Amino acid sequence: MRILIIKQLFYPEPTAKSLDFAKELVSRGHDVEVLTGFPSYPTGRIYSGYKQYLYKREKMEEIDIIRVPIYPSHDDSAIKRFIHYFSYALTASFIGLFLIKKPDVCFVYQGAIPVAIPAIILKKLRRIPFLYDINDLWPETVAASGMLKNKYALKFINSWCNFNYRNASFITVATPGFYKRLVSKGISQEKLEVVSNWSRDVISDDKLAKTLKESYFDATKINIIYAGNLGIVQSLTTILKTAKKLKENGNQKIKFIFLGSGADEKRLKLTAKKWNLDNVLFVPRVVSSEVSKYLNAADILLVHLKKNELFSITIPSKILSYLKIGKPILMGLDGDAKDILVNSQAGFTFEPENEDDLKQQIKKMTFLSKEEIEKMGKLGKAYYKNNLSIKSSVDKLERNLLNIIND
């Protein structure tokens, strides 16, 4: 197959189904081309080494990549975010589509709804089918984040989503909850399949440099790390509240480390400073290939999202990385993600946005033996390998891509 991947974010940006997905398809004998934007996520600034032009052709490990200009913005302004998303759809449609080789099929990764526009144009004008891969539910995601509250705008976005669904040849969704939600919206079950994501992080046993480890981690304490987007929906103030309560109770055994950047980063740092939290440390974002070194240096891996019905049917990609690396997990999530942790027996869950429950679960973990902690990590690693690997997911995606070509 000649496959065109239409995806606003792509390597070197930290995003799912990126270069690893393209390479896996090429390894199976397919001709793959990528239509994407110039990299800017999550900082909102074009990456060093890139400069925006009308377009740029690039080749990465046998993958042909066409980059088109975008309006870079990843702050909490709804208007700026929409301009960012729509800028890619516009340049991909009116510049990118004139540069691509004619594909047999398109794979559209829906990070935001405008990304489907170039695929719909190809389908209407050249009868090229596309598989629509849903990883965020709109308008539910933007409503849950608080970024957009206008009911008329949300209604418009919902209508736009339904338009995309109708035009897609097939739809894959990341979680069972997403599947149920789309069926409730009238999407035929014959047009849907659950295909889980996989960890995009390069997981290795590499150790953090001694100087960095001594700077960020404390060998005399239990180091709990959160690695990823410091955004609004992650509601990381809950973690700071827990750190504050532990400090007030005289618990000096725990250290929280935040690795990453995001829209809520500045406020979180100001709050930690205001509360004088010497048991909290912020580490600047590192490239994805370095993340596993920090995870290896930690004792417990933390994931959290604000309490919202939408997030009960969401599986954050960091959970997959955490399982893959083989460390015990503390999870503040309900629903599909919680089911994974319970089934894998790889850690403890706490109620989202409940600092008292988090404190209690941390207390439980501190009483576990070294052998029990290691067992949790090994169970998580085995669960990932058996249920959530790139091979099993790409098998399903490849089958569906072939099916819609032959229909």
What is the tens place of the pLDDT at every residue in 227-256? 999 998 899 999 999 999 999 998 889 999
Query: What pLDDT, on the 0 to 100 scale, is given for residue 253?
Result: 92
Query: What pLDDT, on the 0 to 100 scale, is given for residue 292?
Result: 86
If you average pLDDT over every residue of the chain, what do you get? 91
Structure tokens belonging to residue 72: 């870079």
Higher-pLDDT residue of 286 and 225 is: 225
Q: What is the spatial distance between Cα 22 and Cα 64, in angstroms, rounded to a whole number?
A: 10
Examine domains 2-198+389-406 and 210-387 and report if their fold is the same: yes
Using DSSP, state whether 324 is helix, strand or coil: helix
Lowest mean pLDDT among 55-59, 116-120, 228-232: 228-232
The mean pLDDT value for 337-355 works out to 94
The values of phi and psi at residue 289, to 5°, are -70, -15
The values of phi and psi at residue 205, to 5°, are -95, 10
Query: What pLDDT, on the 0 to 100 scale, is given for residue 276?
Result: 96
Residues of the chain with pLDDT > 70: what percent? 97
Residue 37's closest CA among 1, 79, 73?
A: 73
Q: What is the largest CA-CA distance in the chain?
A: 67
Query: What pLDDT, on the 0 to 100 scale, is given for residue 200?
Result: 66
Question: In the beta sheet, which residues pair with residue 300?
Answer: 224
Torsion of CA 390, 396, 398, 404, to 10 degrees: -150
Angle at 389 (CA atoms; ends 386, 393), nearest 5 degrees = 115
| H helices present in 67-106, as ranges | 78-94
**Cα–Cα distance list, 148 to 75, 137, 276 (Å):** 13, 14, 33
pLDDT (tens digit, 9 = 90+) per residue, 66-93? 999 999 987 767 788 889 999 999 999 9
The mean pLDDT value for 321-331 works out to 92
Q: What is the spatial distance between Cα 66 and Cα 22, in angstroms, rounded to a whole number?
A: 14
pLDDT class for 205, splitting at 50, 70, 90?
low
Structure tokens belonging to residue 317: 């990609």
Sheet of strand 130-134: strand arrangement:
56-60, 63-68, 31-37, 2-6, 105-110, 130-134, 170-173, 192-194
The residue to which tokens 């598989």 are assigned: 131
Q: Does residue 206 register a pLDDT over 70? A: no
Q: Does residue 288 register a pLDDT over 80? A: no
Given CATH 3.40.710.10, say whether it is the number of domain 210-387.
Answer: no
The mean pLDDT value for 306-310 works out to 83
Residue 224's closest CA among 376, 378, 366, 368?
A: 366
Q: How many residues comprise the chain?
A: 407
How many CA within 13 A on the CB side of residue 34?
Answer: 29
DSSP code, position 367: T
Pair 118, 88: CB distance under 8 Å:
no
Sheet of strand 329-332: strand arrangement:
280-283, 254-259, 222-227, 300-304, 329-332, 347-349
Q: What is the spatial distance between Cα 244 and Cα 275, in angstroms, rounded to a whole number?
A: 7
Q: For 320, left (φ over 0), alpha (ψ -120 to 50), or beta?
A: alpha
Give domain limits for the chain: 2-198+389-406, 210-387
pLDDT class for 210, splitting at 50, 70, 90?
confident
Q: Does residue 143 register a pLDDT over 90? A: no
Using DSSP, state whether 177 is helix, strand or coil: helix
Q: Does residue 102 register a pLDDT over 90? A: yes
- CATH number, span 2-198+389-406: 3.40.50.2000
| H helices present in 127-175, as ranges | 140-145, 151-167
CA 165 from centroid of its chain's CA atoms: 21
Query: What pLDDT, on the 0 to 100 scale, is given for residue 313?
Result: 85
Model confidence, pTM: 0.75
Pair 158, 148: CB distance under 8 Å:
no
Q: Does residue 57 register a pLDDT over 90? A: yes
The values of phi and psi at residue 203, to 5°, are -95, 125
Q: Does residue 402 register a pLDDT over 90? A: yes
The mean pLDDT value for 168-180 works out to 93
Lowest mean pLDDT among 96-100, 205-209, 316-320: 205-209
